[in-house]
Amino acid sequence: MSHPLVERLRRGDADERRAACEAAPEDPAATLLVDALCEALGDADRRVARAASAALARIARETGGAGDALREALRGEDRDRRLFAAFTWAELEPPGHRILPALIDGLRHPEGDVRWAAARLLVTTGRLHPEVLGVVLGLLGAAETPTARRMAAYCVRELAPDVPEAARALVAASRDDDVHVRRASLTAMAALVDPPPPVRARLTEARGDDPDEVARRLAGRALELLASEPGGAPA
């Protein structure tokens, strides 16, 4: 016979599914609910997915009984389940290479809040593992979707504002065919620390001739911000 909470997780409406997730850690048989909770990580209602993630993290901390199921979810084919499994795993130990593929995939997620959560966790992972910066720079230049390239610009800004290689990658990305990638890259250049001369040259160029009015304004604002820094050249 199925556990009553499993039935609620799989067949109830969204509010009932979320309530079942919240009740799961209190159940004496909580470890028997782990597989159903891992399925709920891919729930179309993000409130349910987040509640499942919180329940799994608590069960794992209190019983140690969710690790295998989370590892399986990280290797699965369902993108949302992989990503929320990664969010859960990061609650249990410092984020590392195990969750990196899910986070990279999350940069192109259609939902903005999920996408930004993936980006923030990717930045945290990069601060712990410096080699992740190379992965992010590759995404900025060659990710398949403009959305992922745009999110990579944010990650580069946060991870490496003082690294010349990052500055060069942002300059290149500011010429992207997609206007949103150009905007993100121009904005990110404003946060660079002691940027090399090509950065100001590119911002000056973009301020004058980018076909997008918003991008031109962003380039001008970036020049102003860089000029306000100690030692900054006039905009």
Structural domains of the chain, count: 2
Specify whether the CB–CB gap between 60 and 67 falls below 8 A. Answer: yes
Same domain, 63 and 117: no
Among the ranges given (29-38, 82-91, 212-221), the one the predictor scored with the smallest mean pLDDT: 29-38
pLDDT of residue 4: 81
Instruction: Tell me: do 135 and 45 sit in the same domain.
Output: no
pLDDT at residue 7, rounded to an integer: 82
Question: Is the pLDDT reported for residue 1 higher than 50?
Answer: no
- Tell how far CA 146 is from the center of its chain: 15
Domain boundary among 81, 116, 148: 81
Domain span at residue 119 reads: 94-235
| C-alpha closest to that of 92 among 68, 115, 58, 119 | 58
CATH at 105: 1.25.10.10
The pLDDT of residue 233: 57
Flag whether 164 is in a domain.
yes
pLDDT of residue 72: 95
Domain boundary among 20, 46, 81: 81
pLDDT digits 0-9 by tens, 144-185: 999 999 999 999 999 999 999 999 999 999 999 999 999 999
Answer left, alpha or beta for residue 138, where phi above 0 means left and psi between -120 and 50 means alpha: alpha
Residue range 133-142: mean pLDDT, rounded: 97
What is the mean pLDDT of the segment spanning 109-128?
Answer: 97
235 pLDDT higher than 70: no
Q: What is the DSSP string of 51-91?
A: HHHHHHHHHHHHHS-SHHHHHHHHHSS-HHHHHHHHHHHHH
pLDDT of 231 over the 80 cut: no
Q: Nearest to residue 72, comparing CAs of 63, 64, 80, 81?
A: 81
* Domain shared by 219 and 107, yes or no: yes
Note whether residue 88 is domain-resident: no
Q: What is the CATH number of the domain that holds 9?
A: 1.25.10
